[in-house]
Amino acid sequence: MELKRVVVTGLGAITPLGKNMPETWNAMLNGVSGAGPITRFDTSKFKSTFACEVKNYDPIDYFEKKDARKYDMFAQFALIAAKEAISDAGIEPEKENLDRIGVIWGAGIGGIDTFEQEVINFANGDGTPRFNPFFIPKMIADLSAGHISLMYGFRGPNYCTVSACASSTNAIADAFNLIRLGKTDVFVCGGSEAAITSAGVGGFNALHAISTRNDDPMTASRPFSKSRDGFVMGEGGACLILEELDHALARGAKIYAEVVGMGMSADAHHMTAPHPEGLGATAVMKNALDDAGMKPEDIDYINVHGTSTPLGDIAEVKAIKNVFGDHAYKLNISSTKSMTGHLLGAAGAVEALASVLAVVNDIVPPTINFTEGDEDPELDYALNFTFNKAQKRVVNAALSNTFGFGGHNASIIVKKWQGLS
C-alpha cells in the first residue's frame, strides 16, 4: 500500500525554560540554563539539591481549583502543552471528524507525586485507609491521554507509551505510523513528566544517575565535558500535532515540517547502563534512516540523547560515528538537555520540538556548559557538538535520539517542508 505523508502542524510546550513553545525555543537559542535549587521540598538531606523545575508554576493559572485537584502535575503539564499545540495548529474540533483524531502520550513515571503523598498520608495516619478518590486516576500514566481526549472530544486511538526516557519519542513514532497507514487523520502526541519529588530525586540519587554539583546548579548539566557527573532532572511537557498531509492541506493548515522516518531498537545489555559500544543506538539510527529512505549524508543535525552521564555520552558518540562515518564531522550535534535538564518520559517530545524548529529556522541550539574536553579518545572533539552558542546553518533534516532505562531506543527524523513536488 502507498503510505500517507505526515506533517507537523502544531507545537506546544511548558518546560524549565518557558511556559510555552516560543519562550522555550528562545531560551534554547540563547543558551539559558533551567537549573536551580529545588523549591518543592526540603533537600537538606539529599545528595542533589537542585533540578530544572518549571519556574513559578501555579496550577490555578491554568485550571479551576476543583479541576486542578483532579490532575497530578504531569497531567497538568500535558493539558497545557496540548492546548497550546491544538490552538497553534488551528484545529477546531466542531469542524472535524472526532473519530479520526487520536491522542498518544508518553510518560516514563506518571503521577509519582500523587503516589508519594497518598502513601505518606496513610503512613502518618492511624491505619484507616483514607485515600483520595482521585488517587488512582491521578497516578496512572495513561490518564494524560485520557484527559486530553475528554477535554476536546477526540475519539480516535488513545493510549500512553511507557518506555522510560524514550516514552514520548515512541508516542510520536506510533502516531506517525498510524497516520501514514491511513488509520486516522490527526494525532495529538508528546509527553509530560513531573518527577521532581523526594522519592524521584532520592531514587535517582541512589542510582548515582544525577549530578551532585550543588555548588553550581546552572552548569551541572554538561554533556561531553570531562567533568560531567550525571544528568539534571527536569519536568514539563511538549506536544506535537501530527497530521496527514492531504488533511492538513485541505484545511489550509500551516506546516512546520514533515516527519519522514522512525526507528526503534533495544540494547539488550543492562537495566540502566547503555551498551558500551552503542549497539542499540547504532541500530535505532540506522532503522530510522532506512525507514525514511535516506542516506546518512541527508542528515544535517542530530539532537542527541546527551544526558551528561560518563557512559552514555561516549556510547552515543560511538554510535554516531558508526552510522554516519565521515559525514559525522559535517553535521551538527547538540544536547538541549544541557539547558532543559532531563525531562525523562517527556524528553523526546521536547527534543522533537527543538528538532522541528531547527529545521524551520535553520539554526542549531547549543550544548551549553562545555568547559574541558575528556581524555577518552571516543569523545572525538573534531565533531561539531555546537558548544555554548547556537549555530546558523541550513538544516534540511534533523534526527532526534532518545534512549531509556531498560535499553529502549527510539529515534525520529523530521525534514524541511518544501511544498508538494
Return the active site residues: 165, 305, 342
Q: Would you say 221 and 308 are in contact if contact means Cβ atoms under 8 Å apart?
A: yes
Cell reading at 388:
555554548
Length of the chain in terms of residues written: 421
Cell reading at 250:
485541505
Q: Would you say 145 and 158 are in contact if contact means Cβ atoms under 8 Å apart?
A: yes
Cell reading at 336:
538541549
* Integer angstrom CA distances of residue 162 from 49, 156, 345, 389: 27, 19, 8, 33
Cell reading at 187:
494525532
Cell reading at 281:
543506538
Cell reading at 260:
519522514
Which one-letter amino acid corresponds to residue 417?
A: W
* Integer angstrom CA distances of residue 79 from 82, 116, 140, 242, 369: 5, 22, 15, 17, 32
Q: Tell me how far apart the alpha carbons of residues 169 and 161 are, in angstroms, rounded to a whole number.
A: 9
Residue 15 bridge partners (DSSP):
18
Which one-letter amino acid corresponds to residue 386?
A: T
Give CA angle at 130 (125, 136), nearest 5°: 120
Cell reading at 53:
523545575
